[in-house]
Amino acid sequence: MKVKICVGIYICLALISCHTGYQKESGQWFWVSYDESVGKRVSQIDQHDDESFSVLENEKYAIEKNSVFILERTIIKDADPKKNF
């Protein structure tokens, strides 16, 4: 019984700690993802305005004063963050 509880707790902690999405660490924005072959992948969001950068309710998207981002560092061309979001 104790083994089942320990395994259950371990699985819950592993799932909680594997959050894919935009994260701010040490004052910089990153896209963090996980996969089976590498584990944790961290990609810095290079071209963005730190003061206006924000993650939307749909966490696949982020905006800043000049750009709209989707999944990692991809900038959506011709998307106006002032009008579309």
Segments making up each domain of the chain, as ranges: 19-84
- Whether the model pTM is above 0.85: no
Average pLDDT over residues 18-25: 82
**What was the pLDDT predicted at 55?**
92
Q: What does each C-alpha distance from 47 to 4, 9, 17, 19 come to in angstroms?
A: 47, 39, 27, 23
Residues 45 and 33 sit within 8 Å (Cβ to Cβ): no
**31 forms bridges with which residues in the sheet?**
22, 43
